[in-house]
Amino acid sequence: MSLDWIYNAISWILLRWHALWDAIGIPDGRVLGTNWAWILAIIFLVVTLRIILFPVFVKQIKSQRAIQALQPKVKALQEKHKGDRETLQKEMMELYRTEKANPLMGCLPMFLQIPVFFGLFHVLQHLDPSISEKYKLLYGWSLEQFDSAANAHLFNAPISAKFGSSAAELAAVGADAMTVKVLAGVLVLIMMATTFLTSRQMILKTGWAEDPQQKMIQRLMLYGIPFSLLISGSLFPIGVVIYWVTNNLFTLAQQQWVLRKFPPIQMNKGAATTSSARPASSGSRTGAANPVQPARTGGLFGRKSAPEPVSPVAETKALAPKPGAKPVNPKKGTRPANKPKG
């Protein structure tokens, strides 16, 4: 299957943004060793794609909320079918089908961005000044646009170069090997850190999944993907790393907004703590006996003495004379005086 349609789409967006920045006066030449019009074109390629994928991102959040709400039922199934993995998987798939929750929806935005990532990777790899003119005109580029992009730099490092570029490849674009390696190495580390933070941000807000498969996916995204970038990042052109870092920063901001706007479901543990705290505070305000108070008289912090006002009330009721009973003289050994006759 030909992927030219992806390469043409990526090129078209890059060229439109580059033309916009050029039209509003962003210099196409180098300022601080950087061709800002092309760098901004890559950054706003991310913005364009994230706006297009925003509805998918909302569906991802809704799916994660639905799966989180099903965690008590998932845990019950795990206890019920302990040791019977095949039955457990069937029951869980039936549960997800009935409740219309799709565990794979959480990874959908990432899967949709993979073709874009490889498309940009191919386009930037294609920006080789040494190729023949007929290949420079592929994907809607003119010779002028191709030569401008092929010689675009970020802090004196070509955006088409990479950490693992050979000496011959660097010589073809007139790049200094040390400058490229330092800049590419720093960007790869930032790419790893921001990739880790995007996964960590979501997991801290939603919690670890009870489903072993979902938990394995969470661990893979949290630790596996950032670690793999330590090796694969050396093969990415600097322009691709700029795209990845920008995408991660955009994701961090977007997730923070969504998690504030639509906070995760509070699980039973938090609800139990809240409900146990409310009767105590209401009892102290009204002065009524607190039904939770006996549970707080012992435990971690030792025994708590009963409130002083309660004890006298109980003793007074116990010592009160019954109706029709003879009065009791408080002085011991003294007989009551005889009532005078007459």
Which of 235-272 are b and which e, b meaning 16 or more Cβ less than 10 Å from the residue's Cβ? ebbbbbbbbbbbbbbbbeebbeebbeeeebeeeeeeee
Whole-number Å distance between alpha carbons of 75 and 211: 8
| Residue 163 forms part of a structural domain | yes
> Based on the structure, what is the number of domains in the chain?
1
In a domain? residue 286:
no
Side chain identity, residue 334: T
Q: What percent of the chain has pLDDT over 70?
A: 72
Q: Is 315 within a domain?
A: no
The Cα–Cα gap between 244 and 241 comes to 5
The answer to the question of residue 302 being in a domain is: no
Q: What is the structure's pLDDT at 296?
A: 38
Most confidently predicted of 202-206, 274-278, 281-285: 202-206
Quick one: average pLDDT of 287-296? 41
Joined together, the tokens standing for residue 23 give 């039209």
Mean pLDDT of 235-261: 88
> Would residue 181 be called left, alpha or beta, if left means φ above 0 and alpha means ψ between -120 and 50 degrees?
alpha
Is 111 contained in some domain?
yes
In a domain, 232, yes or no: yes
What would the pLDDT profile of 181-221 be if each residue is shown by its tens digit? 999 999 999 999 999 998 888 777 767 766 677 788 778 87
pTM: 0.66
- Greater pLDDT, 237 or 313: 237
Q: Which domain holds residue 89?
A: 14-261
Residue 5 lies in a domain: no
Angle between helices 177-206 and 225-232 (to 10 degrees): 170
Q: What is the mean pLDDT of the chain?
A: 76
Cβ-proximal residues to 215 (8 Å cutoff; 6+ apart), any chain: 208, 209
In a domain, 331, yes or no: no
